């Protein structure tokens, strides 16, 4: 397959395919036609065929798609065939919620450490993840292999910490802090701006 030709719009739809196929697997369904998947996902069947053909996943006439194979194939494209070590910076409610989210672990995302400035949290273990002093983060990253850092701390400190992470070789940042980060281009940032999302909802409600 030639992934260069795959548009951002298709990429954005992949996690959703993966999620639906995972649900089918959990329910023991072995195969599915594009039209049945279409009804479930509220996407046209031709869209589904087009998207999946791009990744070399061709359904068989009269059989449809093999759910397990398709799930596995999309998982590979999404990079889920490897495991990721993740640290969480900010051990407040949000950081704790993320550390406790079973779905992530199931997909190979392993939370290996949390960091905070709060002395009451440092040294504690939260949902099996130890909270370290934020000042030790550079040393931790030198000694341990970490793929992704989650920023779940107030925006006042987020940019400075992001710079420290980038300097210490972190390649992926999942940013919940309410700020856009400006980092070297080898660092990939995925933003979850919750306030922006809530405002989008209030915009739609206002209409």
- Of residues 87 through 126, those in contact with a second copy by CB under 8 A are 92-94, 96-98, 100-101, 103-104, 107, 109
Residue 185 class from Cβ within 10 Å (0-12 exposed, 13-18 middle, 19+ buried)?
Answer: exposed
The per-residue b/e assignment along 115-149, b for 16 or more CB within 10 angstroms, e otherwise, is bbeeeebbeeebeebebbbbeebeebbeeeebbbb
**Of the listed pieces 57-65, 116-124, 131-139, 191-199, which binds a second copy according to CB under 8 A?**
191-199
Q: Does 172 bind a second copy (CB under 8 A)?
A: yes
Site string for a second copy, 39-68 (x = CB under 8 A): --xx--------------------------
Distance of CA 102 to the CA centre of its chain: 13
Do residues 148 and 130 make contact, with C-beta atoms less than 8 angstroms apart?
no
Please report how close the Cβ of residue 63 comes to a second copy at its closest, in angstroms.
26
Rounded Cα gap, residues 18 and 53, in angstroms: 15
Quote the DSSP letter at residue 179. Answer: S
Nearer residue to a second copy within complex by CB, 61 or 201: 201
Q: How many CB atoms lie within 10 A of CB 114?
A: 29
Please, which residue, 136 or 154, has the CB nearer to a second copy? Answer: 154
Residues near a second copy (CB under 8 A) are: 3, 11-12, 14-16, 18-19, 41-42, 77-80, 82, 84, 92-94, 96-98, 100-101, 103-104, 107, 109, 147-148, 171-172, 174, 178, 180, 182, 188, 190, 192-207
């Amino acid at each position: 397959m030639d992934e260069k030709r795959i548009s951002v719009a298709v990429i954005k739809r992949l996690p959703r395919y993966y999620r639906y196929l995972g649900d089918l697997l959990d329910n023991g369904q072995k195969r599915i036609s594009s039209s049945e998947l279409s009804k479930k996902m509220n996407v046209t069947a031709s869209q589904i065929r087009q998207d999946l053909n791009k990744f070399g996943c061709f359904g068989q006439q009269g059989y449809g798609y093999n759910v397990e194979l398709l799930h596995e194939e999309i998982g590979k494209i999404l990079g889920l065939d490897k495991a990721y070590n993740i640290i969480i910076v900010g051990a407040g409610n949000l950081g704790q919620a993320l550390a406790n989210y079973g779905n992530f672990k199931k997909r190979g995302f392993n939370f290996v450490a949390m960091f905070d400035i709060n002395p009451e949290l440092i040294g504690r273990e939260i949902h099996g993840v130890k909270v370290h002093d934020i000042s030790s983060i550079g040393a931790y990253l030198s000694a341990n292999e970490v793929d992704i850092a989650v920023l779940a701390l107030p925006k006042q400190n987020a940019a400075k910490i992001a710079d420290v992470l980038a300097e210490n070789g972190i390649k992926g940042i999942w940013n919940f802090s309410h700020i856009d980060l400006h980092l070297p281009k080898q660092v990939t940032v995925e933003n979850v701006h919750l306030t922006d999302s809530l405002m989008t909802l209030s915009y739609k409600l206002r209409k």
